[in-house]
Amino acid sequence: MTIAGENTENQILTAASQVFILKGFDGARMQAIADQAGINKALLHYYFRSKEKLFDAVFSEVAANLFPAMKQVIEAELEMKEKITFFVKMYVKTLLENPFIPAFVINTLNTNPNRFLTHIKKAGINPMLLQKQIDEEAVLGLIRPMKAEHLLVNIISMCIFPFVARPIIQNIFEMNNDEYQLYLESRQTEIVDFVLKSITV
């Protein structure tokens, strides 16, 4: 077996990622993916039986790259404030490298919920651990008591939202593309500040 097969498969996956992420499942065209990959449309069906299967492959890969890093930080051996600092900086950095992923996931989530649910395979994040740490540190007076499901969602919301609502925000605050890039980068420290100030007793 030559590696050409694997190679083509990867070409297809790369092309499919790009098109699906940009257009969503419904907006993506098999022909567009084939063109992007520089191959015949029939080859798509040779490697992946259907559009759905191809999408699943792409989505799995994308989703797989999204959660583990998160999980890793959350379960790290760090004081909560350090953990938050580290998490936000890493997460926003990841988003800066893949700015269209969040909108893609949200789009899939909401227009094809069934398609998503098959892929959810337990994000693997254990909020109990997080809550435990919050409780412990609260007792020590390091942070104020709080529910993990609010703290975590607050943080992630602030990280992700500027990526999915970019056109609106950019319009309201009249930023050009360069300015918005700087804005996104500045949010790393800004979010950390904002959160730490809030959870300090």
**Interacting residues with DNA (CB under 7 A):** 1-2, 4-5, 8, 28-31, 39-43, 45-46, 49-52
CA distance 155 to 199: 12
| Chain center to CA of 61 | 12
The residues, any chain, with a CB within 8 Å of residue 71's CB and separated by 6 or more, are: 123, 124, 125
Binding partner of 90, given DNA, a copy of itself, none, CB within 5-8 angstroms per partner class: none
DSSP H helices, 65-176, are 67-74, 80-97, 101-111, 113-117, 127-139, 148-164, 166-172
Q: Which does 1 bind (CB under 5 to 8 A by kind): a copy of itself, DNA, none?
A: DNA
Give the shortest CB-125-to-a copy of itself separation in angstroms: 5
For residue 49, the partner it binds in DNA, a copy of itself, none, with Cβ less than 5 to 8 A by kind, is DNA
Q: Angle at the Cα of 92 (from 108 to 179), degrees rounded to 5? A: 100
Rounded Cα distance between 167 and 151, Å, is: 27
| Contact between 123 and a copy of itself per CB under 8 A | yes
CB of residue 1 vs DNA: minimum separation in angstroms? Answer: 6
* Interface positions with a copy of itself (CB under 8 A): 22-27, 100, 103-107, 109-113, 116-117, 120, 122-123, 125, 127, 144, 147, 149-150, 153-154, 156-158, 160-162, 164-169, 171-173, 183, 186-187, 190-191, 194-195, 197-199
